[in-house]
Structure 1
Amino acid sequence: MDDRHENLTNVSLITRIIAFLWDYVIISGYLILLFAVSFFARPWLIPLFTASSLSAEITGFLLITLPVYLYFSISEGLKWHATWGKRKMGIVVVGVRGQPIGLGRSLFRSALKFAPWELAHFTIWHMVAPPEYSDYLIYSLLIAVYGLVFIYLISPLKSKNNQTVYDSIAGTVVRSKYRTKIPHI
């Protein structure tokens, strides 16, 4: 185990949720900024969202999902090993032996983590856009989104290391830098 991380302990699901809520403050700030800028950029954005479903999905991905994905990947894969919310809660993302995960593994972990989010965007877009896919497929995708979210939420409760499914696949764990279960804010 890496010397810097030898005192790491498991983190409860509640601590992880609180950390994500802190991170959602940053995400919400970004979305509010994006919404404000969209009023000025409207003439350039409308064609991107109306040209085709593919163009709309790519634009949505580039403006919403990609920045959030990069925020998590870079924050957890580089210097701090944690997003702002995780740092605030005193937790870090490390490899199963306590080593830093690096940017490559962090990018992979975040891709797995945000797959349901992006699948939800895809599905909702196709619910409101002109029909390209059958209702059966769209509703199946919605069920898959909710199923993945449920599995992601319940998996830390079933794992001895409190790992989510995406942590298990990526070979990562979220650990506390302190001996206490929930660090002081």
Structure 2
Amino acid sequence: MAAAQESTRPALWSRVLASLVDYLVILGWMLALAATVALLRLSTGKFCNWLELGPAGAQLLGFAVLVLPVGIYLFLTESSAAQATLGKRRLQLQVVDGRTGERASTPRILLRTAVKLLPWEMAHFSVWNFAAIASTGSTTFPVWLYTVAVVANVLPAVYLLMVGMQREGRGPHDLAAGTKVVRLRPAPAELLPGLR
């Protein structure tokens, strides 16, 4: 019989540490992509210029090879029976429904993942558009593009501040999806009838 669990709001440091563990997983994927690019360079003698696809094509390719796999990792692990990424599991954290404390539904986890990755995708969008404009020889960039880049870089700090300051430690991704992250701990023996 599985031990009963109760949950508490996790400390900010545990959320940050769990994220760092997950970033190591993401870094592993990025290193695999870099190795693939290097192998392609060795076999073809040239680097693939993603901008030949145009800014939208480069954005789509970047999404397909980097953001989508990371999103799949986050979604599959947080919607699994463990309800946690590898980093969260290591720190005994779990994503739950913010109202009931039960397992969050698949649509909630999907929305949580999308909102969580939004700043990253906005940053990629701005980078590809800056690169496309710069490749024409222009050094003048539109204000809207600077705005997207600034917002993309400020949002992660906003997410972190909200997790640290919000009463239940919920960032924008949790608030949008109706989820929250909790720390698991074994229930005290007196709360487990019949185990004495």
What band does the TM-score fall into relative to the shorter chain?
Answer: 0.7 to 0.9
Equivalent residue number for residue 59 of structure 1: 61
Specify the SS of the correspondent of 2:182: strand
Aligned 1:16-95 pairs, distance under 5 A: 16-42=15-41, 46=48, 48-95=50-97
Equivalent residue number for residue 166 of structure 2: 159
Residues 97, 105 of structure 2: 8 Å contact kept: no
1:49 deviates by 4.1
Structure 1 unaligned runs (5+)?
Answer: 180-185
Cα distance 1:9–1:138, how it changes in 2: closer, same or farther (>3 A)?
same
Aligned 1:135-174 pairs, distance under 5 A: 135-174=142-181
Structure 2 unaligned runs (5+)?
Answer: 187-196
Q: Deviations over 1:70-103 (max 9, x none)?
A: 1001100122100001000010000112111132
Stretch deviating more after TM superposition (87-96 or 101-110): 101-110
Specify the SS of the correspondent of 1:28: helix
Residues 75, 82 of structure 1: 8 Å contact kept: yes
Residues 78, 103 of structure 1: 8 Å contact kept: no
1:52 deviates by 1.4
TM-score for both structures, normalised by structure 2 = 0.82
Cα distance 1:5–1:51, how it changes in 2: closer, same or farther (>3 A)?
farther
Q: Which amino acid in 2 is paired with 1:81?
A: Q
- CA–CA distance in 1 between the matches of 2:141 and 2:131? 13
Percent of paired sites with the same residue = 28
Equivalent residue number for residue 7 of structure 1: 6
Aligned length in residues: 177
Cα distance 1:4–1:93, how it changes in 2: closer, same or farther (>3 A)?
farther
Q: Which has the larger radius of gyration?
A: 2
Equivalent residue number for residue 133 of structure 2: 130
Residues 49, 59 of structure 1: 8 Å contact kept: no
Q: Deviations over 1:90-117 (max 9, x none)?
A: 1000011211113221111010011001
Residues 6, 98 of structure 1: 8 Å contact kept: no
Residues 18, 91 of structure 2: 8 Å contact kept: yes
Residues 74, 103 of structure 1: 8 Å contact kept: no
1:147 deviates by 2.8
